[in-house]
């Protein structure tokens, strides 16, 4: 089974994670924005090379899950890290409020039907973790989920964590590598980014008054994130708590983790069947001598 690559922002598997210990910004000796962007370009080129082999190898899949508070930079990070990759080998899904059809199934169903195929990189912009985050902060959401009457709401979150761990272990056993990124933006930085959405016309479309209202539940969200992350970070499906106040640094860290993960998968191009290979010279002659 896949083992998580070591990294400074890897969340341990002993359930002692404390959100207050996770930094919002890079270390003091981190490179500047320009250097981060230069490094990112090189790392993305390596991801592109490895993704090509992953696609040809067709034995494993990579699922990248991004969770964060609003304005943390999920969209921009996904775009920056996957830019230049072959679109045929990637698939991105952004999960919004569940539809009526999705509410008629269990909380994992709508993400299960969008899991990446072998040979592909799949990206979830938000995910089934919303069901232990926003649904926990706003428990009235559960009233619209048509849950069976015998559901024990007292232990609902514990049971959902169990379902998530079992689901991710199942995926790992069957060749899907799961990497989970929590982009840790500070409340102060989020405020600055919301204000820029109001002040800069080209960013107005990003602004939502609902996002501002959610800031009133900040501490509730932090408690929900802390428990979700420490309850579900495992060697086969690790969480990485990435500082999000400095976007170039954040994107570089995400890219390096993806690259290191792909490097560790023992990827290789498929070997040609020996019976087919003996015909290569014959086929070469036919191609070179065709009229």
- Report the CATH number at residue 155: 3.40.50.300
Q: Identify whether 11 is part of a domain.
A: no
Please give the pLDDT value at position 14: 77
What is the rounded CA–CA span in Å between residue 33 and residue 46? 20
Per the CB < 8 A criterion, the answer to whether 128 and 106 are in contact is no
DSSP assignment of 177-243: EEEEEEEE--HHHHHHHHHHHHH-GGGGGG--HHHHHHGGGHHHHHHHHHHHHHHH-BTTB-EEEEE
Please enumerate in sequence order all residues whose Cβ is within 8 A of that of 165, keeping only pairs 6 or more positions apart, or say none. 231, 232, 234, 237
Per-residue confidence (pLDDT) for residue 211, from 0 to 100? 84
Give me Rg for the CA atoms of the chain: 22
pLDDT tens sequence across 193-237: 999 998 888 888 888 888 889 999 999 999 999 999 999 999 999
Residue 179 CB: number of other CB atoms within 10 A? 20
Q: What pLDDT was estimated at residue 177?
A: 97
pLDDT at 275: 79
The CA distance from 225 to 205, in Å, is 27
Q: Which two tokens stand for residue 257?
A: 């983790």
Q: Length of the chain, please?
A: 291
CB atoms within 10 A of CB 151: 12
Residues of the chain with pLDDT under 70: 1
Report pLDDT for 276: 81
Q: According to the model, what pLDDT value does residue 36 have?
A: 97
Q: How far apart are CA 118 and CA 175, in angstroms?
A: 8
Residue 45 included in any domain: yes
Separation of CA 19 from chain center: 19
Note whether residue 5 is domain-resident. Answer: no
Provide the pLDDT for residue 204: 85
Q: Is residue 157 part of a domain?
A: yes
Domain membership of residue 282 (yes or no) is yes
Task: Establish if 279 belongs to a structural domain.
Answer: yes
Rounded-to-integer distance, Cα 64 and Cα 177, Å: 8
Task: Confirm whether 1 is domain-assigned.
Answer: no
Residue 204 is assigned to a structural domain of this protein: yes
User: Could you tell me the pTM of the whole model?
Assistant: 0.94
Angstrom distances, CA of residue 221 to CA of 15, 21, 44, 128, 130: 18, 16, 32, 16, 11
Structural domain for 110, as ranges: 19-288
Overall number of domains in the chain: 1
Predicted pLDDT at 44: 96
């Amino acid at each position: 089974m896949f083992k998580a690559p070591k990294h400074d922002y890897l969340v341990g598997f002993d359930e002692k994670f404390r959100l207050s210990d996770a930094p919002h910004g890079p270390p003091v000796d981190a490179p500047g924005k320009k250097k981060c962007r230069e490094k990112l370009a090189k790392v993305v080129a390596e991801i592109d090379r490895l993704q090509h082999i992953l696609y040809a190898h067709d034995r494993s899949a990579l699922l990248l899950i991004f969770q964060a508070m609003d304005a943390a930079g999920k969209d921009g990070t996904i775009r920056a890290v996957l830019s230049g990759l072959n679109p045929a080998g990637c698939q991105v899904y952004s999960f919004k409020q569940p539809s009526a059809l999705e509410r008629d199934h269990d909380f994992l169903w709508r993400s299960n039907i969008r899991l990446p195929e072998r040979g592909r990189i799949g990206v979830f912009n938000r995910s089934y973790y919303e069901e232990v985050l926003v649904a926990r902060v706003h428990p009235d959401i559960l009233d619209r989920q048509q849950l069976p009457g015998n559901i024990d709401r007292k232990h609902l979150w514990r049971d959902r964590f169990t379902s998530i761990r079992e689901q991710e272990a199942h995926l790992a056993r069957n060749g899907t590598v799961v990497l989970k990124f929590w982009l840790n933006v500070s409340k102060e930085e989020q405020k600055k980014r919301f204000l820029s959405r109001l002040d800069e016309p080209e960013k107005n479309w990003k602004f939502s008054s609902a996002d501002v209202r959610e800031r009133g539940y900040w501490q509730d969200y932090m408690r929900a994130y802390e428990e979700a992350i420490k309850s579900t970070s495992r060697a086969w499906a690790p969480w990485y708590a990435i500082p999000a106040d400095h976007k170039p640094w954040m994107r570089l860290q995400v890219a390096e983790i993806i690259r290191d993960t792909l490097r560790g998968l023992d990827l290789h191009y498929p070997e040609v069947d020996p019976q087919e290979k003996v015909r290569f010279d014959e086929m070469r002659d036919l191609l070179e001598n065709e009229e």
